[in-house]
């Protein structure tokens, strides 16, 4: 019998399934999927040996993994009709609040909102989690921890987390690409420039965690008066880099809120 039933088998659902099975926390026969795309279902069954089940009748956990613009009302109505009253619903749908989910699923339904990070395969990155009053963290942690780290948040901060934490890898990828291009522009071969950037990225993150110092303190240590690094930072400050990054985060948070109120 499948313990976990996914409604929706898109990229994020697949990433969670892949990590949950790859970590050894669950097996394919403990996971069932439903999706409107039969080819998608066939591919995931073939690759991960999960089950296809039309209804989440016996599932302990039901994961809503559809898009915010999809018909949430129809999805929740099916859950309400087909699932056990004790089944915990885990929504990974951006912008859809616990209040709205409770209105659709029933006021006594155990509900969890999870905003998963796309770094599921690495073991890094936090998923933002908020629970309603009918579910305990211990009931869902074995599943949630199977695809990464957990950051419990009040629901008022979930949209902020989505635009900042979950969109965060985008900013890192873009920074790596841009800094690598800068190395190529200056004369390094791309393969070498890429290795240097990645090593600096990993090393700088390790230095911040190990030292416990503020980034500004490490910048001060790393830069001598009138030195090479300070000249580079001066031009970076003139580029509006920090404010541009902050505007990007605010735009992502705003879009998260829009998605949740679109219907």
Contact 200, 183 (CB under 8 A): no
Contact 158, 130 (CB under 8 A): yes
Annotated binding site: 7-12, 65-68
Could you tell me which of 19, 14, 57 has the C-alpha nearest to residue 35?
14
Annotated binding site for NADP(+): 7-12, 65-68
Could you tell me which of 159, 153, 200, 141 has the C-alpha nearest to residue 176?
200
Provide the CA 131 distance to its chain's centre, in angstroms: 17
What are the residue ranges of helices labelled H in 83-167? Answer: 98-105, 137-144, 158-161
Report CA Rg, the chain: 22
Could you tell me which of 43, 146, 49, 25 has the C-alpha nearest to residue 90?
146
Query: Distance between CA 4 and CA 242 in Å, rounded?
Result: 42
């Amino acid at each position: 019998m499948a313990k976990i039933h996914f409604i929706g088998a898109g990229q994020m659902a697949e990433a969670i399934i892949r990590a949950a099975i790859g970590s050894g926390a669950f097996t394919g026969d403990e996971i069932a999927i439903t999706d409107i795309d039969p080819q998608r279902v066939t591919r995931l069954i073939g690759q991960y040996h999960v089950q296809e089940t039309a209804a989440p009748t016996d599932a302990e956990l039901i994961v809503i993994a559809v898009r915010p613009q999809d018909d949430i009302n129809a999805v929740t109505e099916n859950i309400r009709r087909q699932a056990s009253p004790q089944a915990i619903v885990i929504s990974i749908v951006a912008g859809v609040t616990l209040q709205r989910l409770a209105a659709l699923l029933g006021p006594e339904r155990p509900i969890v909102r999870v905003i998963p990070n796309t770094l599921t395969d690495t073991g890094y990155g936090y998923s933002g989690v908020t629970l309603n009053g009918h579910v305990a963290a211990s009931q869902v942690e074995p599943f949630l921890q199977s695809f990464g780290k957990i950051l419990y948040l009040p629901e008022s901060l979930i949209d902020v987390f989505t635009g900042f934490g979950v969109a965060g890898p985008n900013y890192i990828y873009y920074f790596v690409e841009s800094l690598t291009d800068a190395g190529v522009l200056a004369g390094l071969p791309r393969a070498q420039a890429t290795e240097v950037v990645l090593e600096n990225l990993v090393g700088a993150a390790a230095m911040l965690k190990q030292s416990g110092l503020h980034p500004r303190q490490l910048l001060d240590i790393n830069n001598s008066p009138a030195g090479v690094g300070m000249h580079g930072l001066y031009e970076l400050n003139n580029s509006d880099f920090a404010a541009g990054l902050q505007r990007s985060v605010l735009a992502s948070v705003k879009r998260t809120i829009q998605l949740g109120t679109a219907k």
